[in-house]
Structure 1
Amino acid sequence: MGKGGQGTQNGISKVKDFSMDDVKHHDKRDDKWLVIQGEVYNITDWARRHPGGSKVISHYAGQDATDAFRAFHNDLSFVKKYLKPIHIGSLREETKETEVERDFRELRATAEKMNLFKPNALFFVLHLGHILLLEYMAYAVMAYFGTGWIPYILSLVFYSTVQAQVGWLQHDFGHLSVFHISKWDHLLHHITIGFIKGASPQWWNHMHYQHHAKPNVMNKDPDVRVEELFVVGKVMPVQIAKERKKSMPYNWQHRYFFLIGPPLLFPVYFQYMLFRHIFTRKAWWDLLSVSLFFVKFFYLYIPMLGIGSTIIYYFIMRCLESHWFTWVSQSNHIPMDIEEDSAKPWLALQLHATCNVEQSFFNDWFTGHLNFQIEHHLFPTMPRHNLHKMSALVRSVCEKHNIPYKIKPLGTAFADIVRTLKHSGELWYSTYNAFHSP
């Protein structure tokens, strides 16, 4: 395996060169190598100290992580200093980038030349401003007009909109796409997702970075780790059926989705998971920012509504926000390919797992520009107001390599969630009966 020795690291001989086949064997829990720009790194120990979390980097063990590495990091000179101690060799000369990889990297270089990674400060100031205005209106409408049905409903609409829109804004800070200076993005991420939204920044990073690293990849993307309640795609239903798993009547999932999916994702599942993460990971700064959200919320609303009614108001608001988030986020992914990891190149990986929604002023605002999900997944640190400028360029590269580039009307994208769940449920049902019928 490789030629020549240059000392040892963790008992592994440093060598001058490896083949990609050599690297592929090192994808175990206690033995992880990966490739970045033709260089081989042993991340076995480093993964536990990785600032983005151990799982997101470990998902590329045994694979080429060049484009994933570039997608997640803004300051390459800063990050590369952490690579030196874990560098163990290089790929051999015959291991070259493919044409699709070369074209994608040229596409990124074009985006950089066009200054599309440069944020527009005014855009984010105005966006934060309209969120703060809506939050004030949610409180003021009941403070000034009482708690009758009309001001109560208006307040709920305003506050649910605040939560949905700050969800898109914290997403920008979480991806370091606003300041491109980590400490400032992290600070605003804490303020927006913690103090304004009442969620854990660390928990969001842990879940969302994995999703971006391996979207729709079974056992790696937490967003499709849903087999306790749903089966998605074409592979998972067959696997679950063959394993005799019948925890839910999956053939009815396109119907019970309306009862336990959009309504309960935020007020039940996310509430439980974020606090579980905070206490198991001892994320005390996250606990502080989340606690400040609840102190603010109950201080403002209990005097008007009372304790019980304030809790009901909170639950209804979370249900409305949950509908908004679930329909938008799942419309881009659930109808797409959901498979085991096959180490696809970055462009193909993201395009097979994501689709776009048509552009309009309303769609841009309503989805937080995630109607350009394809471009966002390819370039997660690109400010969202520039994503549309990449659409035609990305589509041309996809056409060249015969990679599907899908774009839909908003209503069609929502309907496809239900159609896909129905198809996956029927696939599970037919497979289950074929394998386990008397």
Structure 2
Amino acid sequence: MRLEEKLEHTESPVRRSQPCLHDTHQANGKPRANGKAEVCEQQEANGKGDGLRKCLNLYTWQEIQRHNKETDQWLVIDRKVYNVTDWAGKHPGGRRVLNHYAGEDATDAFRAMHLHLSTVRLYLQPLLIGELSPEEPSQEKNKNPQLVEDFRELRKTLETMNMFSANLGFFFLHLAQILVLEVLAWLILRHFGSGWTVTILISFLLTVSQAQSSFLQHDIGHNSMFKKSKWNHLMHKFVMCHLKGLSADWWNYRHFQHHVKPNIYPKDPDIDVGPLFLIGDTQPVKYGKKKIKYIDYEKQHLYFYMVALPLLMPVYFNLQSMQVMYLRKYWADIAWVSSFYIRYFITFGPFYGIFGTVLLIYLVKFMESPWIAYVTQMSHIPMKISRDENHDWLSTQIVATCNIEQSFFNDWFTGHLNFQIEHHLFPTMPRHNYHKVAPLVKSLCAKHGLQYINKPILKAFGDIVRSLKKSAALWMEAYYE
């Protein structure tokens, strides 16, 4: 269940509060020596102005940055300091998402990943322990405050333009496309029988249905379809679990980590592909200097075609989804995913039998795999991959993503993930608005000297292999020196 949905069924944990500064400063107006001047919050109890006063502290960035461990996590959001250590295990987006921003300013990540900010802030209130000292900047000192401010102004502009409002007709049209393909495959099989030609045809139709389901569940998983989170949550279960046979919660916890820290070791699970592949500039050198050679990495750009493309969906994602559902006891997802297999056995079992239906399921996943592998990797693998340097939100996303040229086919084939830059900057934005905001994002990047990459789709496919070949060369140089 998503955080916003939980809150819709939970009373607000706090009353409205008015912060007031106690007389805890020195005569010169500066905080006391440890940078922890007290701030008190007067809370209304039962609607009355008397009573409750919660004493907080003023903190420096130096103090906050020390709380960056899994057992000690502080975040800064809009200059407020929150201790999320105990809450991390309950976070609907997963513990690791919070840990990735421990000791840092998480304001823009918080705004980007949550659709209903006012509701989520109520849940944050009990975790509030203080705020930044008045003389401290709103972000860490290594960040460009003008760039941060310009990006936040852009977001406000887009909110004013209603760019975060979804066109339900657009998404239901895509859902109808998926359902029509599923029904058409069954009607063809029923009318023409289960010969080889028919099997190939229905496999193709089901492959298109599965790929488009991947893109649709991606939209819904980001809360970009319905205004009410509970409807996004329910529809995500239907599309991801019932139509695709994969765990929605597994996808959420994995994918949200990718969004908050894309292409960053070891925080982005999407680049955790070792020891099968070595990617980026640092990992190959590290393996090479340590004389690590699990596989002949010189040929990784070749076995990418034989391993990654055909096996990403039917083996890696499928097995990982099942493993996570079982170990974390996602009972709701297990029930929904079971309905996927039951539906296939009821629909196709009379024609192929149990064993033949299982083969059909994995044939479709096998055929879908290269499609999804190319679309998901073409905008990230060729880009910068590094350790966390704690850059601002815009810079973090722009160096790790690139766009693919727009066309009707590219939009459909990629599920609008050809606008990967805009999607990463504004994950909750409906995809039909990406092309409208792209010129504004490009203009902002030009203003601050950030490279906005937009390439042809075939070049993007080739860049995956070229980047693997480049990483292999770095490994060879370090290994054989």
- TM-score, normalised via structure 2 length: 0.87
Which shows bigger deviation, 384-393 or 245-254?
245-254
Instruction: Give 2:386's aligned amino acid.
Output: E
1:373 equivalenced with 2:420 (yes/no) = yes
SS at match of 2:253: helix
CA distance in 2, matches of 1:420, 1:57: 31
User: Based on CA coordinates, which of the two structures has the bigger radius of gyration?
Assistant: 2
Is the Cα–Cα contact under 8 Å of residues 23 and 33 in structure 1 kept in the other structure?
A: yes
Is 1:138–2:180 an aligned residue pair?
A: no
Give the superposition deviation at 1:73: 0.8
What is the CA-CA distance between 1:245 and the residue it aligns to? 2.3
Residues 1:253 and 2:300 are matched in the alignment: yes
CA contact (8 A) 2:39 2:58 kept: no
Aligned counterpart for 2:159 among listed residues 109, 112, 115: 112
Letter in 2 for 1:310: T
What pairs up with 1:154-233 in 2 under 5 angstroms?
Answer: 154-233=201-280
CA distances 1:382-428 after superposition (whole Å, capped 9, x unpaired): 00000111100000110111111001111000000000000001111
Counterpart in the other structure of 1:2:
35
Task: Return the match for 2:87 from 35, 46, 49.
Answer: 46
Which one of 45, 68, 71 corresponds to residue 109 of structure 2?
A: 68
What is the match of residue 36 of structure 1? 77
Aligned residue number for residue 293 of structure 1: 340
Supply the distance in 2 between the matched residues of 1:23 and 1:245 (Cα, whole angstroms): 38
Per the TM alignment, residue 311 of structure 1 is displaced from its structure 2 partner at its CA by 2.2
Q: Which residue of 1 aligns with 2:124?
A: 83
Pick aligned residue for 1:342 from 374, 389, 395? 389
Distance 2:288 2:80 in 1: 41
1:96 corresponding residue in structure 2: 138
How far 1:6 sits from its partner (Å)?
A: 6.3
Cα shift at 1:72? 0.8
The structure whose residues are more often helix, as a share, is 1
Q: Is the 8 A contact 2:69 2:99 kept in 1?
A: no
CA–CA distance in structure 1, aligned partners of residues 257 and 272 of structure 2: 12
> Which structure 1 residue ranges, 5 or more long, are not aligned?
8-12
Q: Aligned residues: percent identity? A: 48
Distance 2:200 2:215 in 1: 23
Pair 69,375 (structure 1): closer, same or farther in 2 beyond 3 Å: same
Give, as a single letter, the amino acid of the residue that structure 2 aligns with 1:199.
L
Normalised by the size of structure 1, how large is the TM-score? 0.96
Secondary structure of 1:60's aligned partner: coil
Separation in 2, partners of 1:61, 1:346: 15
Aligned twin of 1:283: 330
The question of whether the paired residues in 1 share the 8 Å contact of 2:281 and 2:385 is answered with: yes
Alignment pair present for 1:311 and 2:358: yes
Aligned length: 429
Are the counterparts in 2 of residues 2 and 15 from structure 1 also a CA contact under 8 Å? Answer: no
Give the root-mean-square deviation of aligned CA atoms. 1.4
Following superposition, the deviation at residue 331 of structure 1 comes to 0.3
Which structure 2 segments of 5+ residues have no match?
Answer: 1-33, 41-53, 140-144
1:217 alignment partner AA: I
Q: Which residue of 1 aligns with 2:450?
A: 403
Report the secondary structure of 1:155's partner residue: helix
Query: What is residue 20 of structure 2 aligned with on the other side?
Result: none
Secondary structure at the aligned position of 2:386 is classed as coil
Counterpart amino acid of residue 379 in structure 1: F
Between the aligned partners of 1:17 and 1:163, the Cα distance in structure 2 is 52
1:190 alignment partner AA:
K
SS of 1:33's equivalent in the other structure is: strand
What's the offset of the Cα at 1:378? 0.3
Paired with 1:138 and 1:216, the residues of 2 have a C-alpha distance of 38
Q: Deviations over 1:137-192 (max 9, x none)?
A: 12221211122222111101100000000000011110000003110000000000
- Give the alignment of 1:376-391 within 5 angstroms: 376-391=423-438
SS in 2 for 1:40: strand
Report the secondary structure of 1:82's partner residue: helix
Q: Which shifted more, 350-359 or 84-93?
A: 84-93
Moved more, 303-312 or 73-82: 303-312
3-state SS, counterpart of residue 88 of structure 1? strand
Q: Matches of residues 355-366 of structure 1 in structure 2 within 5 Å?
A: 355-366=402-413
Contact 2:38 2:58 in 1 (8 A): no
Letter in 2 for 1:129: A
Offset, 1:19: 1.7
Question: Does 1:25 pair with 2:25?
Answer: no
d(CA) in 2 for partners of 1:368, 1:243: 41
Instruction: Tell me, in whole angstroms, the C-alpha distance in 2 between the residues paired with 1:276 and 1:343.
Output: 32
Larger mean CA deviation between 281-290 and 296-305 belongs to: 296-305
